[in-house]
Each structure stands twice: as structure tokens, then as C-alpha cells.
Chain A
Amino acid sequence: MTGTSPAVVAASKLGLTFQTNDGPVQALSNVDLTIGKGEFVSFIGPSGCGKTTLLRVIADLEKPTSGTISVNGMTAEQAREKRAYGYVFQAAALFPWRTIERNVGLPLEIMGLSKAEQVDRIKRTLDLVNLRGFEKKYPWQLSGGMQQRASIARALAFDADLLLMDEPFGALDEIVRDHLNEQLLELWGRTNKTICFVTHSIPEAVYLSTRIVVMSPRPGRVSDIIESTLPKQRPLDIRETPEFLAIAARVRDGLRAGHSYDD
């Protein structure tokens, strides 16, 4: 945790067990985690490690079966009701019948903002993700990377301080992904938001994060938390520096340790 800023997310002894037809599955077990304001925290781990589940618990899309979770000092449910976070899914999940500007305006409509306020915020957030000029386009007219940028704009539109991102660039090719990583860092630097970012890419996690939470499966748990020593300003070629490679090696070791008893 960085400094004395109040915790945006605080989880204590958090556990979640799904009841399935094949018996109970422990998706999360004993997760203790505190995320401070302005942090960029990545969750990395093999599939089944519960990284997405943890994000969904923070978002109140899943209810924990044990332990406690607080978001902005409230329960996760209260935080969701107060629209404390923007959520970006693995797919852009834009409504195909809405233009880009109306997609970005969707949360604003739901919150009942005035028309003028909506127009203003849509413009501002589309500028933020460099999608100016695409307001009237429908999602299918945009590339995958642009669609995902529009969905980030939608999550930013209502100015929540917390951004929850579930492998947002997982379906994109590496060149587009690099580009979006760069833009995301720049956006984070400008807006000072707290970002929780689920990924399965080590370079992506190391490049973006101030802290990397390494998770391991069966049961899903936190196996290591790595503080990044990289500066806040990160050009793409920082990924060739020894410092970057050292952090990446630590993450890799953490992943391997969590996996050692497996296969």
C-alpha cells in the first residue's frame, strides 16, 4: 500500500465458493488486499486462479461467501449503487444498436444527467481515448481496438475514481495492445484514477502497474504481491531495461511457485 492515502479497496480473509454440479469450487480463499488511491494494481495468474472473480467481487457482480470487502469505505453493494467504479469487460460489450456517442452516454442516461451534461461528458471522454470524429459511427464500423477504447470511454464517462478492467486487451493483437497500454498509462497519469487490471500477460502487468498481485489456482489465492520500482513515466522501451526484466522475472517466479505442486 502506498503512503497514508485511504484504502479504495480493502479485502480481508475474502473467500468465495461456487456451488457447482461437481461439488463446491473454491474460487477465492483467504484474500487479504488493500489498494490505495491512485494505484495501478494488476492481477496476474493462470486461468482458474480467481483473478476475474476477485474483480467481480469488488464490482459486486459476485457475492463473497466469507470475509469482508469494502470499496471506498462502503460495502461493495453500496459502492456499486453509488456508481463508485467503471467496469471494462474482456469484450467491448457495446450495444450494437447505439452509435459510439450513445454507447458512451448510456451510463449517463441511466444516472439521469441532463442532456447538456451528457453531451459535454461524452465529448470529454471520447477526447480522452482519442476517438473524436467517431461519435456517429456504429460499433461494427470500428476496429476491435477502437471498440475497446470506446468501452473504456464509457467506463470513464461518469467520472468514477475506480476503474476495474478485466483483461480488456486480451482479444487484441500485440501491436494494438502495446498502443493501448501506452494510452492507458497516459490516461491514468492524467486522471489519477485507481485502476485494478486483470491480465495474463507478464509484460503487460509489469509495464502498467505500481503493484502486481500474483495469484494461483485451486484454491484461488494471492501468492505474491510485487511492488514495482519503475518510475511513473514509462516509455514503451522501458521494457528492455534490466529493472523491468528483474520485476518480470520475479512475477514469473511467483507464478511458477504457485504452480509448482501442479502438473
Chain B
Amino acid sequence: MDSFRDKLIPVTSILAGVVVLWYVFAVILNTPFQRDLDRRAGETHTLSEFIGKTLAQPKPTLPAPHQVAVNFFENTFLRPVTSNRSLVYNAWVTLSSTLLGFAFGTALGIIIAVGIVHVATLDRSLMPWIIASQTIPILAVAPMIIVVLAAVGITGLVPKAMISTYLSFFPVTVGMVKGLRSPEIMHLDLMHTYNASGAQTFWKLRVPASVPFLFTSMKVAVAASLVGAIVGELPTGAVAGIGAKLLAGAYYSQSIDIWSALVAGSVVAALLVMVVGIAGRIVDRAMGGRPA
């Protein structure tokens, strides 16, 4: 709890600073359009009236924080969750493909890592390709995955999840390769003195030693999965999901909608990372971890 209190003041100060800056930029960026409007209407305003108006435009260049907050609140709490305008509904659509892709990605990442650690050929042949795979812009790959999978009759959740998988397997692979190789020489020697089989060394030493690495990489992977799911919604003409909300907002210049969808995405990301972190802590405690 002390660490929570230690962080509270710095974090809130930064937040307050960001909000103030945000308001300043909202006024600056919305000024040209507001001036244009006023000129056409032939109105003149005092400075405070003018600032008030720049912060209350229906389609501002940069929405003010309170506009986003109101929009977010309305679309999250005041709409039925079955409405396609509800952020809860859209977040759920994105979350479901995020979780599916994350599950695939984690499983794939672990399998590849096990292969790399145990087969010398894979270590040399696979690793460069895995690194190369992450240098390809996902935005270019996403439509191809969607189109190719649609051609073989796979549509809906799975194609989006594949993009999440593509982004999330990488951190898990890297983390698990490191984790499975983390046992000290002494521990490996010890297993050798017992004449332990490869499988015994794997299950009794390498796997438990890799668990902290797994959870650290899963935190990165789950956030990457969410990005993948949102990106996956952009080129697919998806009708629901945070990505679809972002795209629709961009089409109709609903900048407030875009920002509130962004906030929804951030909240989901924070929650996912937190859940993985808590799961990691529970597992660590169950494995005799020293309380921090």
C-alpha cells in the first residue's frame, strides 16, 4: 500500500498536467474553425465566451477532455449493452477476438520456444524469421490475412484473432526462450547427477524456472493482442468493435467518438494487463515466491 501512496501523487500530478495541456491545445486547435464560424455568422465574442465555444464544438479538431468524458460516460453506462453504439458492446466484440488471439499466440509462442530451446536446428533457422515477422507492418498483413481466410470460408472472429496471434506470439516466444534457458548450471548439473531424463529436466526444472518470464511476456502479449484485434477490425469492414468505432468516427468526422473509443481501448488494455499481472502474482505466490 505504501508503494501505492508513493505513486499516487506523481501519477496524479502528471495526469493534471496532461489535462491542462490538453485544454490548451483544444482551444488552440479549435480556434481557426470557431473563428470561421463566427465570421460567417457575423458574431463577435469576449475571450471567455470564445474559449467556451472552442470547447463545445460538435465535431472539434481536438475534443476537450470533458467532451470525451461525457461521450464515454453516455456510451458506456447510459446505453443498453446490446446497442451497437454502446462502448461496452464494442469493447466486448474486440475483447473476444483479443482473448482468442492471445490464447492462440501464447500457445504458439510457448510451442515455438520449446522447439527453439530443444532443437539446435530450429534455434538457428527459426529465430531470424521470427524476428523478421515482426518487422513487417501489421497494417499491410492484416487485409491479406482477412482476404485469404475469407477465401477459404473462414470469417468472423477467427481472422481478427489471427492478427492478434501474429502480434502476441512474438513476446511470448522471446520470453519463454529466455525463461527455459534460465536455470543455473548448478541446477542442470544437479539433474545430471540424478541421471534425470530430458523430459524430467524439462518439467521439473525448465518449466517452473520459466514461469516468471512467461507472465512478464504475457503482459506485453496481451496488450499487443488488443492492438492486433483493433487493427484487424480496420480493413475488414467490421461493423462492431473498437476498431470499427474508430473507423466510423473517422468517416463521419465524429472526433469525440474516436477519442472515447480510444479511451475505451485504453481501459480494456489496462484491465487486461492488470488481470495478467494479478494472475502472475497469484501463481508466483503459489510457487513459494517471497512476498515483495
Residues 179-205 of B contacting A (Cβ, < 8 Å): 184, 186-187, 189-196, 200, 204-205
A208 to B118, CA, bound (A): 43
**A61 to B186, Cβ gap below 8 A?**
no
Q: How many A-B residue pairs have CB under 8 A?
A: 54
> A53-92: contact bitstring with B at CB < 8 Å (1 yes, 0 no)?
0000001010000000000000000001101011101110
Q: List 27 A-B contacts (CB under 8 A).
A: A61-B193, A81-B195, A83-B195, A85-B193, A87-B190, A89-B186, A89-B189, A90-B186, A93-B187, A93-B190, A95-B187, A95-B204, A96-B288, A96-B289, A97-B208, A97-B289, A99-B288, A106-B204, A107-B194, A110-B191, A110-B195, A110-B196, A110-B204, A138-B288, A138-B290, A139-B288, A140-B290
> B277-292: contact bitstring with A at CB < 8 Å (1 yes, 0 no)?
0000000000111100
**A83 to B194, Cβ gap below 8 A?**
yes
**B208 to A93, Cβ gap below 8 A?**
no
**A80 to B205, Cβ gap below 8 A?**
no
**A97 to B194, Cβ gap below 8 A?**
no
CB of B135, distance to nearest CB on chain A (Å): 34
> A123-138: contact bitstring with B at CB < 8 Å (1 yes, 0 no)?
0000000000000001
CB of A239, distance to nearest CB on chain B (Å): 31
A175 contacts the other chain (CB 8 A): no
Q: A97-B208, A106-B204, A110-B204 are in contact. Are A91 and B186 (CB under 8 A)?
A: yes
Could you say which of A86, A95, A96, A107 has the most chain B C-beta atoms within 10 Å of its C-beta? A95
Neighbouring B residues of A90 by C-beta, 8 Å: 186
Q: A89-B186, A138-B288 are in contact. Are A95 and B194 (CB under 8 A)?
A: no
A109 contacts the other chain (CB 8 A): yes
- A residues with a Cβ closer than 8 A to B are 59, 61, 80-81, 83, 85-87, 89-91, 93, 95-99, 106-107, 109-111, 138-140
**A111 to B193, Cβ gap below 8 A?**
no
CB of B11, distance to nearest CB on chain A (Å): 31
Known: A61-B193, A87-B189, A93-B184; 20 extra A-B contacts, CB below 8 A, are A80-B192, A80-B195, A83-B194, A83-B195, A85-B193, A86-B193, A87-B193, A89-B190, A93-B186, A93-B190, A95-B205, A96-B288, A97-B211, A97-B288, A98-B288, A106-B194, A110-B191, A110-B200, A110-B204, A139-B288
CB of B256, distance to nearest CB on chain A (Å): 50
Which A residue sits closest to B207, measured CB to CB? A97
CB of A259, distance to nearest CB on chain B (Å): 29
Residues 251-292 of B contacting A (Cβ, < 8 Å): 287-290
A95 to B207, CA, bound (A): 12
Neighbouring B residues of A109 by C-beta, 8 Å: 204
